[in-house]
Structure 1
């Protein structure tokens, strides 16, 4: 399965995620939903800071495709952001980082289950 298929079929097709991307831990976007453009600086924060300096991410928030989220949780396993009716889950695997946004009326818990399930699968197959 291609990386784009994971974004399209495992995240977006569920109806519980509205925008998504898969980043490599070494940098670069492996796949993303149409029109979801993460700048180089935004990618750097996710890859280099989000899981190594959680206090910094909690203090500064997380900007994704130009939209700033308030970070409500940041640790080595997950970053969770919210602003208004939007939210985001950022979950690392062994070699990749999943970024998945959702909008109301989607519930945070429903989106989280979808993203965590894909993250667990990728970890189980070495990614």
Structure 2
């Protein structure tokens, strides 16, 4: 399938971007955009506790933080399956999550165990890569 180029030229809210990740990309059930210190910019169906966000922020600063201990998102414990300099990939059964860093923010995308995307959800990383590249190009 052809990958659509993401346009961030039209001013929209961060919540709108999160809703696009859920409703247009069709790879996530929940998504959110956050500042590097964990402040919510906008979310679609995603609520992260203060304690969970502290751990997520540590894993964004140093992706190795998530290895071995995993991360909790909305009270659900996810196992860390892969990290790179800008990405933490997590799984729980057939569900999972990806935390991906841009320059000044990061995105969390979550898919549920009953989702049809499967365990690894290859479209998830591609979708977040598209968004983080567009954000980085705009200084975010």
Structure with max Cα Rg? 2
Q: Give 1:4-83 correspondences, 5 Å limit.
A: 4-9=15-20, 11-13=21-23, 14-34=25-45, 36-47=46-57, 49-83=58-92
- CA drift at 1:53: 3.5
Q: Which structure shows the bigger proportion of residues in helix conformation?
A: 1
CA RMSD of aligned residues (A): 1.4
Query: Retained in 1: the 8 A contact 2:63–2:86?
Result: no
CA distance in 2, matches of 1:119, 1:113: 10
- Secondary structure of 1:21 counterpart: strand
| TM-score, normalization by structure 1 | 0.90
CA distance in 1, matches of 2:16, 2:64: 33
Deviations, residues 93-122 of structure 1 (Å, cap 9, x unaligned): 111110001233114111221111111110
Match of 1:87 in 2: 96
Q: In the comparison of the two structures, how many residue pairs are matched? A: 124
Unmatched 5+ stretches in structure 1 = none
